[in-house]
Structure 1
Amino acid sequence: MNTSDVVAILAENWDMTQAEARELLDVITQTFNENIATGNSFTIPKLGTFSTKTRKKRKSYNPHYEQYMELPPKRVVDFNPSQGLKEDFKQADISDE
């Protein structure tokens, strides 16, 4: 599923034009990005919680230079799925893929 598909579904379900649906999606995405950038976490009911965490520094092998290098700490987005999403995922039929 890509952005066009999401916009089409939003437009159909909310009885709006695709331009309005795209604008709505842009506002939602911008709001999420601003919250994550400031370090705030937020929860979407029945989906999960988005937050940030700091990955520790670590060693990695660079095959081009054939040597190990140390990667610095990095702030990344973390997602914890809700219990409902976990249960829905477990109940999904494997043959759907």
Structure 2
Amino acid sequence: MLLQKFISAMRSKNKIRLTFYSKKDQKELTRVCAPMDYGQSRVYKDGKDRYFLWDYDSDAGAHTLSILSEQVIDIQLLEECFEPSEFVTWTPDWIVSRDW
């Protein structure tokens, strides 16, 4: 169900409100994000699927999040849309198909 919401939001370019367990902060966090992709990371070679997101609420450092499925607590679809060109500055090789 959460993955379906995520992929639907990604394809429709809707922002989401993501609640997840942050390993770094060792607590639950909620962030407004743009869903970017889902699947196995090319960086982490552990074979685990991850949610890849652009974090609009990040106050410092990188705005990208890579979250394991077991860390995701809730995903709420927001009415506000995002424009991928706001943050996609590279030639993407997406895992999940979409028209952007």
TM-score with structure 1 length normalisation?
Answer: 0.27
Structure having the larger proportion of residues in strand: 2
TM-score where L is the length of structure 2 = 0.26
